Amino acid sequence: MVDLFDKINNNFGPIGQHHEWSHGYFSFPQLEGPIGPRMTFKGKELLVWSLNNYLGLANHPEVRETDTKATADFGLAYPMGARMMSGDSKYHVQLEQGLASFVGKEAGFLLNYGYQGMVSIIDALVDRNDVIVYDAESHACIIDGVRLHMGKRFVYQHNDMESCEKQLVRATKLARANGGSVLLITEGVFGMSGAQGKLKEIVELKKKYGFRLLVDDAHGFGTMGPTGAGTHEEQGCIEEVDVYFGTFAKSMAGIGAFVASQRNIITYLKYNMRSQTFAKSLPMAMVVGLLKRLDMLQNRPELREKLWEVARALQTGLRERGFDIGNTDTMVTPVFLKGDLNEATALTRDLRETYGVFCSIVVYPVIPKGLIILRLIPTATHSLEDVRLTLDAFSAVSEKLAEGYYKQLEAATAGSTTL
Ligand SMILES: Cc1ncc(COP(=O)(O)O)c(C=O)c1O
């Protein structure tokens, strides 16, 4: 028999295999200083485009003040225990009510992490007779939730409604035969590409197939729709989204998440989500801080307007300069380039070291070989001058890439361990 640890020693996994040269620079980079568009990386100030601090609340003085006071009042331990046992409070309930009414649902339930929360929502909603239909580019937490499912699942090609309907036909047939139901899962805004899930079209299919719709709106909550309520508001189908999920890790600049739906569905989830029943509830200081954030999200539309001003300037500028930014129709801004892993790492290093721009890089095996995605996340705290500097930097590195400059550098830089 192979020793488990020997196996791991010989294979650190698809991303981990690069850890010796990537750790601390490309993976696990340590950004220092106050959260904002300018942070320090390895002693140097860089223009940062990789934080989902969409509305700039992370370091907003009013938010910081509330967080500080709440921490002084309650500490970080309070309340102790899971919500069901000893970890509930009036603040938790108040936040749930505020969130639910904001996103147009009867009731809400807080989740101590978005990832586990989503896994558990899926696990709790379906049983072995039910069938799941989901988008192929779903976030890992949806994939993991689907993995737990004991019944059948059908995946449809990303945002492809023909493929979606085909899978719905199969799923409906099977569910009928089993005496089960169908749950369709999509994201509101796909975090990697910036494309919106086609909620409006999916909702149309509900009339024909009678399934229930769960939307992971991690990126859309607080950013999309006339009031920032989410992608379902943006697409005019608030009612028809049956179960709505949002996280606090992005526009709310906190931690945790929530699910909102009809009252009975939330009551059921409260008593049947294993990741919440058997885990500690959100700290009070965070919950009080989240109440402040929700208030700002609802009453400071200028933050969202600023985010969109920056996003539009960035995306228009990139398109005008001939960059391929795919089919984003949200603030998430991917830049697609062609190159191998070594070129991607040399280019990213050049962006950081020469041009002072820090953004996230996505390469194979997350995306196909030969493709590089540099993902830019605009926020309300960026300025139009930041956009201009970044556009110039991107023009410079893409010219170098086209000339083969990074190919020559690969031996000297990409594999370097002196990061
Ligand atoms: C689409 C989507 N769903 C869920 C999550 C998980 O949320 P959290 O960070 O709150 O665990 C993320 C976070 O990256 C996400 O992008």
Per-residue model confidence as pLDDT tens for the chain (419 residues) = 999 999 999 999 988 988 998 999 999 999 999 999 999 999 999 999 999 999 999 999 999 999 999 999 999 999 999 999 999 999 999 999 999 999 999 999 999 999 999 999 999 999 999 999 999 999 999 999 999 999 999 999 999 999 999 999 999 999 999 999 999 999 999 999 999 999 999 999 999 999 999 999 999 999 999 999 999 999 999 999 999 999 999 999 999 999 999 999 999 999 999 999 999 999 999 999 999 999 999 999 999 999 999 999 999 999 999 999 999 999 999 999 999 988 999 999 999 999 999 999 888 877 888 999 999 999 999 999 999 999 999 999 999 999 999 988 754 454 443 33
Distance, CA 115 to ligand 1 centroid (Å)?
6
Nearest-CA residue for atom 2 of ligand 1: 218
pTM for the predicted model, two decimal places: 0.96
What whole-number distance in Å separates Cα of residue 252 and Cα of residue 257?
Answer: 10
User: Which alpha helices (H) appear in 362-416, and where do they start and end?
Assistant: 384-402, 405-413
User: Is residue 257 in contact with ligand 1, taking CB distance under 6 Å?
Assistant: yes
Distance, CA 218 to ligand 1 centroid (Å)?
6
User: Is residue 191 in contact with ligand 1, taking CB distance under 6 Å?
Assistant: yes
Amino acid at 380: A
What whole-number distance in Å separates Cα of residue 269 and Cα of residue 261?
Answer: 10
User: Is residue 222 in contact with ligand 1, taking CB distance under 6 Å?
Assistant: no
What whole-number distance in Å separates Cα of residue 55 and Cα of residue 251?
Answer: 6
Q: Which residues contact 102 (CB under 8 A, 6 or more apart)?
A: 227, 229, 294, 297, 298
What whole-number distance in Å separates Cα of residue 196 and Cα of residue 241?
Answer: 14
In the prediction, which pLDDT does 365 show?
78
User: Is residue 112 in contact with ligand 1, taking CB distance under 6 Å?
Assistant: no
User: Is residue 135 in contact with ligand 1, taking CB distance under 6 Å?
Assistant: no
Nearest-CA residue for atom 10 of ligand 1: 114
Amino acid at 41: F
Distance, CA 248 to ligand 1 centroid (Å)?
9
**Ligand 1 pocket mutation pick from 119, 135, 141, 377 by most atoms within 8 angstroms of CB:** 141
Nearest-CA residue for atom 7 of ligand 1: 114
User: Is residue 357 in contact with ligand 1, taking CB distance under 6 Å?
Assistant: no
In the prediction, which pLDDT does 284 show?
98
User: Is residue 185 in contact with ligand 1, taking CB distance under 6 Å?
Assistant: no
Indicate the angle between helix axes 384-402 and 405-413, nearest 10 degrees.
Answer: 90
For every residue of 290-342, DSSP letters joined together read: HHHHHHHHHH-HHHHHHHHHHHHHHHHHHHHTT-B-TT--SS-EEEEEE--HH
Nearest-CA residue for atom 12 of ligand 1: 218
